[in-house]
Amino acid sequence: MTKDDRKIREQLQQKTWNEIKTNDSWAIFKIMAEFVDGYERLSKIGPCVSVFGSARTKPSDPYYKLAEEIGFKLTQNGFGIITGGGPGIMEAGNKGARRGKGLSVGLNIELPHEQHDNPWIDQGKNLDFDYFFVRKVMFVKYSQGFVVMPGGFGTMDELFEAITLIQTKKIGRFPIVLVGKKFWGGMMDWIKNTLIKEGNINEDDLNLFRLVDTADETVDHFVKFYEKHKLKPNF
């Protein structure tokens, strides 16, 4: 490579880096816009519970039917339902909320596959996000608790972020209910036999969430928790 070739390459690299820095700077305004829009719209919704789970769960699946029943019964106890706005378990949660004539909110994320709006979200209560981290802030800030149905990496991400925030006292404690003892059993065994035994978490940390099998157990946990605690936004 000649001296002129090296100079041209360096100029191109510098130009590319400058473009990256410029794009990064402008991205801040897009991120801010998502936060502002989310705060403005969700601050008016009232007490809600977020329902998480797989977008791939079919309407014929027992967990779909269970998520719908949980959404319905939570609305009968004064809670609205927030989901990720997509199909599967999310759709079931919103469908249950609609059946219970409660508030039904969807926080959708633009993805190359799987994600699309479900038809059970209330008009004007469907928010679209480009950034997962902004969307996760909205779930935590405007939820009075999490119902976590069987799901994949996204469900695990949302579950463990909430547990970590409560464990480290970055937010106030709220109910986290894992539904499906058979599904979550292997993870619970690993937590007890590996994380606790290795000293990576304390045994008391298991009290940060509840493992149940039914809609009634789920709703009962929320009702009893908020007989003792005030409903309020996090952060």
Question: What's residue 233's pLDDT?
Answer: 65
Residues 3, 105: one domain?
Answer: no
What would you report as the CA-atom Rg of the chain, rounded to the nearest whole angstrom? 21
Each residue of 147-162: pLDDT tens digit? 999 999 999 999 999 9
Res. 15: pLDDT tops 70: no
102 in a domain, yes or no?
yes
| CA–CA dist 3, 209 (Å, integer) | 63
Residues 76, 19: one domain?
Answer: no
Residues 116, 6: one domain?
Answer: no
Residues 142, 201: one domain?
Answer: yes
Kindly tell me the sign of the dihedral angle through the C-alpha atoms of 80, 231, 161, 185: negative
Place of tokens 């059946």: 99
Question: What's residue 1's pLDDT?
Answer: 56
Res. 234: pLDDT tops 80: no
| CA–CA dist 43, 98 (Å, integer) | 20
pLDDT band at 117 (very low <50, low <70, confident <90, very high): confident
234 in a domain, yes or no?
no
| CA–CA dist 178, 175 (Å, integer) | 10
Each residue of 26-61: pLDDT tens digit? 888 999 999 999 999 999 999 999 999 999 999 999
Residues 100, 15: one domain?
Answer: no
Residues 18, 73: one domain?
Answer: no
The CA-based angle 165-137-224, given to 5 degrees, is 60
The structural domain count of the chain equals 2
* Selection from 203, 117, 221 nearest residue 167 by Cα: 203
Residues 179/213, Cβ–Cβ less than 8 Å: yes
Residues 81, 185: one domain?
Answer: yes
Check which CATH number belongs to the domain holding 105 and give it: 3.40.50.450
| CA–CA dist 209, 91 (Å, integer) | 24
Question: What's residue 115's pLDDT?
Answer: 59
Kindly tell me the sign of the dihedral angle through the C-alpha atoms of 197, 200, 202, 208: negative
Residue numbers of the domain that contains 151? 47-226
Question: What percent of the chain is modeled with pLDDT above 70?
Answer: 88
Res. 8: pLDDT tops 60: no
10 in a domain, yes or no?
yes
Residues 29, 69: one domain?
Answer: no
Each residue of 156-208: pLDDT tens digit? 999 999 999 999 999 999 999 999 999 999 999 999 999 999 999 999 999 99
Residues 162/138, Cβ–Cβ less than 8 Å: no
Question: What's residue 11's pLDDT?
Answer: 58
In terms of Cβ atoms closer than 10 Å to its own Cβ (0-12, 13-18, 19+), residue 89 is buried
Residues 24, 63: one domain?
Answer: no
Res. 109: pLDDT tops 80: yes
Res. 224: pLDDT tops 90: yes
pLDDT band at 106 (very low <50, low <70, confident <90, very high): very high
- Tokens read off for 64: 């779909």
Min mean pLDDT across 47-51, 68-72, 85-89, 225-229 is at 225-229
β-strands 126-129, 146-148 pairing? unpaired
Cα–Cα distances (Å) from 157 to 31, 69, 154, in that order, read 20, 24, 5
Res. 216: pLDDT tops 60: yes
| CA–CA dist 175, 169 (Å, integer) | 14
Question: What's residue 2's pLDDT?
Answer: 64
Residues 164, 108: one domain?
Answer: yes
Question: What's residue 110's pLDDT?
Answer: 81
Question: What's residue 27's pLDDT?
Answer: 85
Cα–Cα distances (Å) from 107 to 38, 226, 230, in that order, read 9, 24, 25
231 in a domain, yes or no?
no
233 in a domain, yes or no?
no
- Tokens read off for 82: 């927030």
Residues 137, 83: one domain?
Answer: yes
* Selection from 166, 147, 125, 144 nearest residue 38 by Cα: 125
100 in a domain, yes or no?
yes
235 in a domain, yes or no?
no
Residues 160, 134: one domain?
Answer: yes
